[in-house]
Amino acid sequence: MTAAPPAPHSQRVAVYARVSTAKQAEADLSIPDQLASARAYCERHGWTVAAEFIEPGASGTDDQRPAFQRLIEEATGSARPFDVVLVHSLSRFARDLVAVELATRRLDKVGVRLVSMTQEMSDDANGMLMRRIIAAIDEHHSQENAKHTLRAMRENARQGYWNGSRPPYGYKAVEAGQRGARVKKVLAVNEDEAEVVRRVFALHLGAEGAPTGVKAIAARLNDAGVTLRGKPFSISNVHRILTATTYAGRHVFNRVEARSGKAKPRDEWIEVAVPAIVSAEDFERVQESLAARAPSRTPPRAVSSPVLLTSLAVCETCGAGMTLRTGKGGRYRYYTCAGQAHRGKSVCAGRSVPMQQLDGLVTDALAERVLRPERLEALLAAYISRGAEADGARKERLARARKALTDAAGAKSNLLGLVAAGVLQADDRDLAEQLRSAEARRCAAEEEIARLEAAANAVAPTAITAAKVAKLGATIHQALQSGPPEFRRAYLRLFVGKVVVGDKEVQISGPTSALARAAQAAENADPKDLSTQFRRRWRPIGDSNPCCRRERAVS
């Protein structure tokens, strides 16, 4: 319990000093003052400072602070090295009512008293009430500060500035000007790290051979000695890079709660334009690939299943999947509604369709109605048109970026000319700020030009030709009609997203983008390369076979 100082006799004291931000700790503003005050306080009362616990840059709302936890563990340990824990004020100990009460009760149980130098309180019920009131006020004050700080940070993000946390991998924070005493920063590309990011995307898209999965990318980077700021790459690291919109030029601020980590509503997110490391087209291709590989969408057992339309066919009435049902000892096979089978006819009246009939209907429709050259050209016309529009918009942005580069370079040259002419002094603070601003605009324009030129050099949807469309149609038509079962399933999952089975009709839908990518690659690609989504590979290392090491040791 927080108490008034005891009578002057030898007391072993643990001093705890804390500041809230790393900037305060680096500036050496508050901790030395707290320690000096605590030493003087102990000297006046005849106490002995047994230990000092210093917490630089840690929020009082978090009770998992390292020095704080070490203090409590040592104070309540079997050695009982302290009689008093001394703080400048209760707010230095914690800014959370529950944290203050829990820690104080742990200290009380072992006879250690919590003393505040600036808030003396009695040892009775009134003192306990006062301590709780002060702790509640401190907590409220902290919440109000956090609210105002977040509002300022949101506005800072809206203006395109970086708020001071550690930049994402692939970026660095650079000065972009000054507002009063505050130096404003923006994100710029860290080329050394950006090269790793680009390679991660390239590996997943198959730039170095077959498309590589998340786990294999992490293993390849680690084998090559590449680190993530000194740490090995993991599956989560690679997945975070592949899914972060920041690398496509759109960083999102205020996405999650700082303390709980819970996602905030989308209307509270703030999107900040940053220099892109990969093109928007490559980023979207990666998202489609990750979604297609996700086990929740297409598990490997669905791809390796002997049933052609597993995970694709759904009931029109209830939306449940159509699963295999057999009759006469397996002589007859049907697709039947899983909703009716599992939950009864009150949920769905259900329907059953002979497997051979539905398989033939879907493959014939895909081969005859979708993959005919004239039909493919019609399907891909809108995609090609969108690509042409995107090319036009990219050229407009490139022209604007080049003009911005010329303007920024001209502004910097003019300022330096005024200095050379003696109109401005070289040590003028306004001049320095204007030069920094012009340089930041020049760097941003150069990065935007590089990104747009790289995107323009990438393979565009307009590369689809009539010859490629014809080759695609012929290749897949042959595979669907006479190819091995595993390739028929793979092609279906590449081009078909859903097969809705009704009583009178069957609706087949799928992504046009998959057809477009296949048409681009169809001229020279091996047909097998278009169809592989999941590959079976034996695992020689034994991480999926617990008996492997024992069997190898015996042999």
Sign (positive/negative) of CA torsion 408, 410, 415, 420? positive
**Domain check: are 129 and 227 in the same one?**
no
Determine the Cα–Cα distance for residues 304 and 462; give it in Å rounded to an integer.
35
Q: Is residue 413 part of a domain?
A: yes
- pLDDT greater than 80 at residue 481: no
Q: How far is CA 539 from CA 193, 542, 548, 553, in A?
A: 32, 6, 10, 17
Structure tokens at 21: 């931000």
Please state the domain count of the chain.
Answer: 3
Please report, for residues 79, 152, 248, 353, the alpha-carbon distance to residue 272 in angstroms, rounded to integers and kept in the order given.
Answer: 53, 15, 11, 52
Q: Specify the pTM.
A: 0.47
Q: Are residues 72 and 20 in the same domain?
A: yes
- Are both 438 and 383 inside the same structural domain? yes
Query: Could you tell me if 40 and 136 lie in one domain?
Result: yes
Domain that holds residue 405: 378-461
Distance CA 114, CA 492 (A): 70
Residue 23 has pLDDT above 60, yes or no: no
Q: What are phi and psi of 326, to 5 degrees?
A: -115, 160
- Which pLDDT does position 202 carry in this prediction? 87
184's tokens = 């404003």
Of the two residues 166 and 327, the one the predictor is more confident about is 166
Give yes or no: residues 177 and 142 share one domain.
Answer: no
- pLDDT digits 0-9 by tens, 62-115: 778 889 999 999 999 988 899 999 999 888 888 888 888 888 889 989 999 999
Between the CA atoms of 512, 518, 522 and 527, what dihedral angle is there, to the nearest 10 degrees? Answer: -130
Q: Are residues 146 and 206 in the same domain?
A: no
| 196 in the same domain as 286 | yes
3-state class (DSSP) for residue 257:
coil
Residues 493-529 have pLDDT tens digits of 667 778 898 888 888 887 665 666 666 555 554 545 5
Give the span between the Cα atoms of 454 and 191, in whole angstroms. 15
Adjacent-strand bridge partners of 169: none
Neighbours of 456 (CB within 10 A): 13
The answer to whether residues 147 and 29 belong to one domain is yes
For residue 145, the model assigns a pLDDT of 75
Gap between the Cα atoms of 347 and 339, Å rounded: 7
H-helix or E-strand containing 409?
helix 373-420
Residue that terminates a domain, selected from 401, 431, 461? 461
Instruction: Specify the residue for token string 């080329």.
Output: 191
The listed range with the strongest mean pLDDT (213-227, 257-271, 333-347) is: 213-227
